[in-house]
Amino acid sequence: MGLAPEIRPPQPDPTMRDYYRRTIAFARDTMRQPVKAGRDLHFSDLAFFLRFARPIWRVGVLALIATALVSAAKTVLPLSIKFFIDNVLLGETPDPGSLLAGAGGLLSSLNTLILALLVLGIFTGGMDLIRNYWTARFREDYAFNLQTALFEHVLSFPLSYFKSQQTGYILSRLSDDVQILQYTISQYLPQIVANALYVIFAFAILCTLNLRLTFVVVAFIPLYLLVNAVFIRRIRAATYRERERQAYVSRDLAEVITGIETVKSHAAEDREVHKVSRTLRDMVDARIRNTMLSAASEYFRIGTMSLMLIAVFWFGGNEVLAGAMTIGDFVAFAVYIVTFAPTVNTFFAFPVVMQPALTSAARLRDLFAMHGEPGAAPGTGGTLPGAVQGRIEFSGVWFGYSRENPVLRDANFVVRPGEVVAVVGRTGAGKTTLVNLILRAFVPQEGTIALDGRDLASLDPRWLRRQVSIVSQDLFLFHTTIEDNIRYSRPGATFEEVAEAARKAQIHDDIMRFPEGYQTVVGERGTQVSVGQRQRIAIARAFLKDAPILILDEPTSALDMQTEAQIRQTLRVLVRNRTTILVSHRPSLLDLTNRVLSIEDGRVQEFRGADVTIIPGTGCRYHTPGGSVVP
């Protein structure tokens, strides 16, 4: 007979073991003392946010007065139980030394007590409706003032900020943090004000009912403070991590949706889902940590509240048994504690529940602390010259997106008023960078750029850009009508002026073929019209703006040869009597120019336009009439 098989105890599932290990590590990490995340709000920051309440301070005062009256009325209501038991049911005579003796004598009749309760109920309900209206008015107006000021401030940032940040991240900072702050103002601030007033009024009444029992209640306050001391910093750090990861999710989602054509053309849906899911997982983990910390702090506060109720019943019951307290006083005191304890719990939870709002406020304060462009906001400086001649001069300009790799090296050239200058070079040579420097999207690291002898750094950037019409290769149309998109360059233009600009840009006939004509909505980023039509709408904008300086950045890159020939004749009219910088790889456009600036290895070289011919297939080399090839 064989040996019996060895019986082994069940082994833990490795998968479950790893799961438990990760859970324990997650909980340990959640309760770990946090590294400082973000910056703390200071009193000056809180004072900063008060400025958005100044225009509506009267509404805030009315809401506060209504809140105080509602809280006072609700505080008085539990006293009716004392009068009902002691004075109506038991028929006891009020103690002449009691502060409530007068009210007890007046409400000793059941009819009088019921009438008083009806009046109090009607007053409380009506005043609560008024309070809700004024609170909602204050909340919405405050959020409006804050978000409007924030949006205006962010729009004053230099173009380099928007080029360095992803759209989804910026939108999250603009919307999510404001919504969190608005939610806090709408939910917690009115509640905390009402609770604070209720605590004050109720505490005064508790002292009147039984001073010694009130001291028992006060003895539990340090426990609430201890819970806050343990959890506040942890919740603040967890909230900061959650907000940042939420911004990253918005960033990644916006990027995928914006580039959906590229994603689908490369069948990359699974890759993008995987990438976004990793970011989502980080946000989910941060949100779970935040939720667990808030739940743990709430658990300890409720435990403290329960201990306080037990202590009140024990000490209060002994007071009644000893004859030191009436039944009505004890019942009223107990009712106050039943309502008072949750209110105290909410009051002391306020620093904890405010952490998301404080985190959002700190992030918003960081945005407000960022400096916009000089002169980008009214009253912030920047010269506003008179007439513009159009002389543009680069003197010793160095610029690079990193100092180790300069895009432009000691650029020196002059574009004279009314002159047409072409800028050519290989892809990535720095042609668009040169245009962005003229528009003050970036600032030179060395050297100066001047307009009519004035350094661009001294000019108001908004004024500067009003003097420039630009047709960029990065075509952007707004999700509105064709007419509104053309009029964007000059909002006060008439329809006849818009149509004339469209005719000059050779787009009028195309527009009239649409069923809605000029009222055709182009779709988001102009997806309902072709690339060539978008480019001609952009050219129509430049015609309509009629600025003294014109920048054409690959203006015919999306056009067929026939349309380009038509546009070229129109451009001859457009560039007349205005300073024009033309960035183009099209040899056919060089006959519009007086001179050519070639960018090679960051150096800017100058040639006469009539002496230069682009040799197809040779990148940025130029053939002169003498036969030599210039790199």
- The full set of domain ranges for the chain reads 54-369, 392-467+547-630, 479-540
Q: Within 10 A of 22 (CB to CB), how many other CB atoms are there?
A: 10
Q: How far apart are CA 204 and CA 201, in angstroms?
A: 5
In this prediction, residue 112 carries a pLDDT of 76
Output the six-digit token pair for 493: 């233009």
Closest CA to 604 of 434, 428, 448: 434
Q: What is the number of alpha carbons within 13 Å of residue 270 lying toward its C-beta?
A: 1
Q: Coil, strand, or helix at residue 528?
A: coil
**pLDDT of res. 94:** 56
Chain-centre distance for alpha carbon 623 = 53
CATH number of 392-467+547-630: 3.40.50.300
DSSP 3-state assignment of 622?
A: strand
Return the pLDDT at 395: 92
Element (H, E) at 609: none
- Give the three-class secondary structure for 530: coil
Phi, psi angles (nearest 5°) of residue 598 = -105, 130
Question: Quick one: pLDDT at residue 626?
Answer: 41
The residue type at 620: C
| Cβ–Cβ < 8 Å for 72, 392 | no
Please, are residues 59 and 137 in contact by the beta-carbon 8 Å criterion?
Answer: yes
How high is the mean pLDDT in each 10-residue block of the chain (631 residues)? Answer: 47 54 59 52 67 86 85 76 69 56 59 80 87 85 84 78 69 73 68 76 80 83 76 74 78 76 71 82 81 79 80 84 80 76 66 69 79 57 70 90 83 89 84 86 88 86 85 77 87 90 87 88 75 82 87 75 74 83 79 84 74 46 42 39
CA distances from 79 to 116, 217, 327 (A): 12, 18, 13
The CATH fold assigned to 54-369 is: ABC transporter transmembrane region fold (1.20.1560)
Per-residue CA distances from 472 to 334, 350, 390, 486 (Å)? 74, 52, 19, 14
Determine the Cα–Cα distance for residues 525 and 534; give it in Å rounded to an integer: 9
Cα–Cα dist 117/438, whole Å: 75
